């Protein structure tokens, strides 16, 4: 079984989409193994988005992610990373297909409602940022 990280972003939380988004993953057969609602810190976000540091959108990305609480979760299942990425849809909600989470709920690229790890190695790096107790698991 593979684990992956999903973040439900602050705009989605404020819009009351958390339950609907989690249901999509569970309906697909993924198991929710950890969940927490938190207000991210700048340090957490800097670690999480380190590959984007220096890019033109980095500052606005951090600002958006600091704008309110987010929901972090670990999902587990066969090919969990790929399944989550398929369910999430394209990063830009305008390009995301209807039926995908971003296609149905995303408003603009800065508020695309969810983040999903893009690979197993990213998931292994990202999970301990949001779930430090998983660092040694």
- Catalytic residue at 115? yes
Distance from chain centroid for Cα 84: 9
pLDDT digits (tens, 9 = 90+) for 46-67: 999 998 898 888 999 999 999 9
Per DSSP, 97 falls in state P
Return the axis-axis angle of helices 18-27 and 80-88, rounded to nearest 10°.
130
Q: Could you list the pLDDT tens digit for every one of the 137 residues in the chain? A: 999 999 999 999 999 999 999 999 999 999 999 999 999 999 999 999 998 898 888 999 999 999 999 999 999 999 999 999 999 999 999 999 999 999 999 998 877 899 999 999 999 999 999 999 987 65
Choose, from 48, 52, 111, 115, the residue flagged as catalytic.
Answer: 115
The highest-level CATH class for domain 2-132 is: alpha beta
Q: Are strands 70-77 and 31-38 parallel, antiparallel or unpaired?
A: antiparallel
């Amino acid at each position: 079984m593979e684990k992956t990280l999903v973040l439900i972003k602050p705009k989605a939380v404020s819009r009351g989409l958390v339950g609907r988004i989690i249901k999509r993953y569970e309906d697909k057969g993924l198991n929710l193994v950890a969940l927490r609602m938190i207000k991210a810190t700048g340090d957490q976000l800097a670690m999480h988005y380190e590959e984007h540091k220096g890019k033109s959108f980095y500052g606005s990305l951090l600002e958006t992610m600091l704008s309110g609480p987010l929901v972090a979760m670990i999902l587990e299942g066969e090919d969990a990373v790929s399944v989550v990425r398929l369910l999430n849809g394209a990063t830009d909600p305008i390009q995301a297909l209807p039926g995908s989470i971003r296609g149905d709920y995303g408003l603009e690229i800065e508020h695309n409602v969810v983040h999903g790890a893009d690979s197993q190695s990213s998931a292994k790096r990202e999970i301990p940022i949001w779930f430090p107790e998983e660092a040694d698991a």
